[in-house]
Each structure stands twice: as structure tokens, then as C-alpha cells.
Amino acid sequence: MRSFLAPQTIKPPSSPTPSSPISPLCCLSTSILAASTNKNHLIQSLCKRGNLQQALQALSQEPNPTQRTYELLILSCTDRNSLSDGVRVHRRISDDGSDQDPFLATKLINMYSEMDSVEDARKVFDEIRHRTIYVWNALFRALTLAGEGLEVLDLYRQMNMSGTQSDRFTYTFVLKACVASEELVELLNKGKEIHAHILRHGFETHVHIMTTLVDMYAKFGRVAHAAHVFDEMPVRNVVSWSAMISCYAKNGKHFEALELFQETMLAKTESFPNSVTMVSVLQACAALAALDQGKLVHGYILRRGLDSILPVISSLVTMYGRCGKLEQGQRVFDQMKERDVVAWNSLISMYGVHGFGNKAIQVFEEMINSGVNPSPISFISVLGACSHAGLVEEGKMLFNSMVKDHGMYPTAEHYACMVDFLGRANRLDEAAKIIQEMRIEPGPLVWGALLGSCRIHCNVDLAERASRRLFELEPTNAGNYVLLADIYAQAGMYREVKRVKKFLKSRCLQKVPGRSWIEVKRKLHSFTSVDEFNPHKEQLHALLFKLSSEMKEKGYVPQTDVVLYDLADEDKERIVLGHSEKLAVAFGLINTSHGEPIRITKNLRLCEDCHLFTKLISKFAEKEILVRDVNRYHHFQNGVCSCGDYW
DNA sequence: ATAGGGTTAG
């Protein structure tokens, strides 16, 4: 490597640059002459002013660019996102032997990484002999961003063997690498190993590293591990809090997310939530349909002046949508000064889950007309809307336009939407054909959509085919087995039902218990059908029994096919009457005032009997009831449901 | 000597 202190080349006086005519003085001292031809300062200031082309021009006239000059050139190329110019600068650096400078190598790796050219970053790394920890870290970061987590972990092992010590940055990069890869399960152990390194090297007090650890366990779904790390942290900042709240919100622990936010972070610490915190909190409110909590959070957002931040507003739209408050969601959206594709997507899927398919399509078109390009998620949202509203032809057209007009490749989710709305419309052959002709391997999402449709139309043959694939793809997902058993039960094939249930038991697999929530006077109440300790249980059962008897006189026939046990009819009736959703309805009838709608959330799909029961209640009790199940909204009013019995 | 890291929208 050439020293940067090497004597500078002196240009012969016979070839002066035109802009600097030689004065007699210059000939007296070589150093003065060198200074007058030195373009380093010029290049640097051109870079700072963003004038990359002129800087490159000047570079060609400068025989001895300094390290700082190269650094600014690299940064300037990165800013411009100009790969060709970056390569030019890189070549020049190699030409004068500076490519063995670890500082510049680090900068080059970062540059290539920013330009999504991880192969070039890797080349820089491979060619440099003296690898400082900065060089290693830069490559780790580049590979992680490119999703090459496994490669990072392999290099990390090599680095440890070469005797180079990790620093505090290394740990955050390799922890992220553990989750930046498809092979999540295997890498959990790798992450735990790194966790041990971190403790061994005394970094357990380091906020950045420990927060990354929390996030890593969160992404592996290891909530207890994440909470343990978080609890042990001696110092936490707003990012740590946000990471832990997000961990709960993303892993289905919505109550815990709200509790940590309200009862711990706000009440007991000096940490101020920021926009990122609010996004996770709103997500939890949305998931629980906790409208009162959501409104409080909205108020808080306004007071803290976070209401102009795009992700926050999108989350607000989603929260109001998922709480059944479409007008509020629309209002929040209308007040936005600028709208990005995520905000539009929030609005589209808000109308979608409520069954307003045409409105969702209209919003989708408005988005395009306003000059915002649809993202793959826009299509998932609008196709999902078509599904919920039974808009088969519209859905097919949108799907085709995604490929033709927007040049997008459909993902498994897009195909699953297609299969879903074709299947629901009892066009099962067409749905099966879509699966056959997919340009990617059909995954569990797609087969699951087909199986769901088979359940609606009670198609045992196709259901067996779909479930065979599903059992191969996700052998431990109890939901698939239950769905098949459900179909057998509908078809009266109880021996098959028994077989499936026996199989479930032999594998120690359990169906997710049904759970319903209702928010009354700012407090969330949760119900399951098996909870013996619920203080309201007796009262609710008595009320349900009374209602059921009254409605039976008016023609209600309990839909007991959903019960997977071969029992006497009256036992089946007792079971469906104890479903969590009915308990929540009963609780709502007792605890809401006249004219106030009941709003319920459920973690599974609504069963036939609960659907029928709720429809009738909405008529006989003259009560508006909103139920959000795992897929969509049901708006019950005067004996009718907004889904048109099609869900 | 210099450089760089964690939480976010369907």
C-alpha cells in the first residue's frame, strides 16, 4: 500500500493547467507548485455541493487524491445511487494502490451495499488483506441487509478463529443476521450462542445490543426470552420499550402490549413514547378492537404532536377500521396532507374487511389516479376485498392487471386470494386449476384457501386432496386437521372425524381454543368456552339458555353440525350454546345501554350457529352487533348480517 | 485518528 505521505508528483513546468498560468514564484518552490495543482480541496467541495460529475472530472486531473477525497467521492456516488460512477471511483482507488486501505474498503463496502450490489461489496472484502473490525462489520451489515444471514454467521465463525475481536457493533449485526434468513428455527440456537458471547464479554449493560437481542427473540416468537432480556436490562430507552411492546403486539400478546405501554412505560418511567412506539400500541388496539383504548392513544398522539407522521396515521386508519369505525378511519385519512401507498392500503383493506368490495376497488382506483403506484400489498388488500364481497369477475380482472399493467409477479398471498374467491363462489374446479398453473410452488396459504372453500361447499374429495398436501407442508398446524374433521362432520362421516381426532391426539396437537373479547366501559373482557373461573359465567349461561329457548319457539334451530363429537343432539346444543362468542354477546346485552351497539372480536372464524344466533338476537333484542372474526367483519342488524351469510 | 448499530405502516 502506498503511503499517503509519499512525495507528490511534480508536474513539469512545460505543461501548466490553463487556468493557472505559471508565475515566476511558482518555479522557486516545488511545494508551492504542488499546492497550486492540487485539486483535492476542489474535489471535496464539489462533492459536498453534490456536483459529482465535476468532481469526477477534477479527479482525473489530480494525481494524488487523498483518503478524504476518496471518501467524499464514495459518499457522493452513494447519494446519487450511481453504480457506474462508484465503479469508476473504485477503479481509480485500485489504480493507485489505495484499495488496500481498510478505511476506504469499509466505505466501498457500504457504498455497494447501499446500491444493492452485495456481490461487489463481497469482492472488496475478498481482496483486502488487512481486515479491521470495521471491514468485517461493514460486510456483515451488507450481507444481512441482503438477507444472507447464513453467510454472515459463517464469516463470523471465521472471524472468531482469525482472532479478530468482536466489538459492540459486531454483535448487533450478527444478531440481526440470525433473523435475516429463511432458516429461522436452526438459527435460534445460533442467536442464543451469540447471546452467551455477549454476556461473556460484558456487554449485558449495552442498550443497543440488548435491544437487538429483545428484537431477535421477538422475531423468533420467543416472547418469554425477549421479556427476560428486557427485564434484566439495567438501562432502557424508548427504543428498548418500543421493541418489547412490538414483540408483544407481533406475537399475539396484545393485552400485554397495552399493559406494558400504559401501566409500566407511561406510569412508571420517564421514557417518552415516540411515533414507533405508538405504531405498535395502535396495532395492539386494532387487534383487540379496543376502541376506547385506541381513542385514548389517538388523543395522546395529538397531544404529543405525532399526528403528522405517516406510519402513525396509517396505523390510526387501520385501528379505526379494525374497531369497526369506518367513518373515523376515513376522516383520519382525509386529513392527511400527503398519502403514501401504505396509507392507501390501510384504507383499502378497511373497506375490504367490512365487505364493501366496490368501495375498496374505488379507493384502489383513486390511489392510482392520484399518482401513487400500487404495491403488492395494495393488491392483496383489494383482492381480499373482492373475496369478502364475492366480486369474482372484478377480482380476476385486478389479478390480471397486476401482472399485465403493473409488471408484478403474484406471490402466494395473491394466489391464495384468487383461490379463495373462486372457491367461495363454488367455482372449485377453477380454483384447483389456478393452483395447478401457479408459477411458484403452491404453499400452505393456497392449499388452506382451497380447504376453506371445500368446507363451505362440503366437498369431501377435494378437501382430502388439499389436506393431504397441507399435512405434508405443515404437519403441526392443528387448524388444518380440525378443518378436515369439520368437513367430515358436516358430511356425517363420524368415523373419519374420529380418525382425524385420534391422529391429532397422538401427535399432541391441540386446536386453538376459541376466544372472544368485548370492550365495556374502557375495560376489555375476554371469554373462552372452557373457562370455569369466569365470575360472570353462571349468569351468562342462564341468560343464554333463556334466550335460546325463546328463540327456538320462534323457529331457531341450533346448528350442531359444527360439533365434532358424536353426541346426542341436546349435548351438542349445550356445547354450541357455550361458545365464547355467545358468552360475549350475552355479556354485551347485560352491560350496554339501549341503542349502544355491541362490538365483539373473535380469534377464529365464526361458527354457523353463532352466526345464526347473533342474527336472531340482533332482531329480537333490537340490538346492533358488530363481530370481527379472524377474517372479516360481521355487522348484524335486524336479523341480517352484512356478510350476506357468505363468509 | 477516522467510520457504523437497535424499535415502525396491510
pLDDT tens-digit series, residues A339-365: 999 999 999 999 999 999 999 999 999
A311 touches strand B (CB under 7 A): yes
Looking across all nucleic acid strands, the nucleotide with the smallest C1' to CA distance from residue A206 is: B6
Residue A543 lies in a domain: yes
Q: Model confidence at A591, in pLDDT bands (50, 70, 90)? A: very high
As to burial, measured by CB atoms within 10 angstroms (0-12 exposed, 13-18 middle, 19+ buried), residue A215 is: buried
Tell me which H or E stretch contains A106: helix A102-114
The whole-angstrom distance between residue A25's C-alpha and the CA centroid of its chain comes to 68
Q: For the residues A619-630, what does the mean pLDDT come to?
A: 92
- Strand B-contacting residues in A 482-521, CB cut-off 7 angstroms: none
Bases of chain B with protein Cβ within 7 A: 1-10
Mean of the per-residue pLDDT values for chain A? 90
Sign of torsion over alpha carbons A194, A195, A201, A207: positive
Domain membership of residue A523 (yes or no) is yes
Q: Helix, strand, or coil here: A132?
A: coil
Residue A37 — pLDDT band, cuts 50, 70, 90? low
**Within-domain flag for A237:** no
- Rounded distance in angstroms from the CA atom of residue A145 to the C1' atom of nucleotide B2: 24
Question: What are the φ and ψ backbone dihedral angles of A596, each rounded to 5 degrees?
Answer: -90, 125
Protein residue closest via CA to C1' of B1: A103
**Could you identify the residue whose CA is nearest to the C1' atom of nucleotide B5?**
A169
Look at residue A628 and give its three-state secondary structure.
strand
Mean pLDDT of A404-408: 93
pLDDT tens digits, one per residue of A141-157 = 999 999 999 999 999 99
Domain range for A58 is 24-130
Q: Considering the domain boundaries, does residue A483 fall inside one?
A: no
pLDDT at A411: 93
Positions 233-252 in A, CB within 7 angstroms of strand B: 237-240, 242-243, 246, 250
Supply the pLDDT for residue A461: 94
Q: Judge whether residue A372 has pLDDT over 90.
A: yes
The residues with which A634 forms a beta bridge, in sequence order, are: A627
Which nucleotide shows the minimum CA-to-C1' distance to residue A384? B10
CB of A551 lies under 7 Å from some atom of strand B:
no
Rounded to an integer, what distance in angstroms lies between the CA atom of residue A573 and that of residue A295?
39
**In the predicted model, is pLDDT for residue A46 greater than 70?**
yes
pLDDT band for position A370 (cuts 50, 70, 90):
very high
Q: Is the pLDDT of residue A534 over 70?
A: yes
Q: Could you give the CA distance from residue A74 to residue A120 in angstroms, rounded to a whole number?
A: 14
Asked whether residue A286's C-beta has any atom of DNA/RNA strand B within 7 A, the reply is yes
- Domain end among A93, A114, A130: A130
Q: Is the pLDDT of residue A260 over 60?
A: yes
pLDDT digits (tens, 9 = 90+) for A544-575: 999 999 999 988 999 887 777 777 888 888 88
Strands A523-528 vs A515-520: parallel, antiparallel or unpaired: antiparallel
Q: Quick check: A24 pLDDT over 70? A: no
Instruction: Name residues 346-385 of chain A with a Cβ under 7 Å from nucleic strand B.
Output: 346, 349-350, 377, 380-381
Q: Is residue A36 part of a domain?
A: yes
Nearest-angstrom CA–CA distance, A550 and A526? 26
Structural domains counted in chain A = 2
Percent pLDDT > 70 in chain A is 94
Q: A507 CA to B5 C1', in Å?
A: 43
Does residue A25 register a pLDDT over 60? no
At A3 the pLDDT is: 39
CA A561 to C1' B6, in angstroms, rounded, equals 51
Question: Whole-number Å distance, CA A143 to C1' B8?
Answer: 22
**Each residue of A175-234: pLDDT tens digit?**
999 998 877 677 999 999 999 999 999 999 999 999 999 999 999 999 999 999 999 999
What is the 8-class DSSP label of residue A15?
S
Out of A2-6, A24-28, A416-420, the most confident range is: A416-420
Top-ranked range on mean pLDDT: pick from A127-141, A444-458, A463-477: A127-141
pLDDT value at A9 more than 80: no
Q: Which residue's CA is nearest to the C1' of nucleotide B9?
A: A311
* Distance CA A217 to C1' B5 in A: 17
- Measured CA to C1', what is the nucleotide nearest A275? B8
Domain-ending residue, one of A94, A109, A130: A130
CA atoms within 13 A on the CB side of A623: 26
- A528 domain residue, yes or no: yes
Band of pLDDT at residue A647, cut at 50, 70 and 90: confident
Strand order in the sheet with A523-528: A523-528, A515-520, A598-602, A625-628, A633-637, A640-641
Does any strand B atom come closer than 7 Å to the Cβ of A110? Answer: yes
Judging by DSSP bridges, how do beta strands A598-602 and A523-528 pair with one another? unpaired
Q: Where a domain ends, among A130, A149, A175?
A: A130
> Residue A123 domain-assigned?
yes
Q: Give the pLDDT confidence score for residue A1 in this predicted structure.
A: 40
β-strands A625-628, A523-528 pairing: unpaired
Among A5-9, A286-290, A300-304, the least confident range = A5-9
What is the average per-residue pLDDT within A54-78?
A: 95
Q: Round and report the angstrom distance from CA (A156) to C1' (B10).
A: 35
- Cell 360475549 belongs to which residue? A584
In a domain, A183, yes or no: no
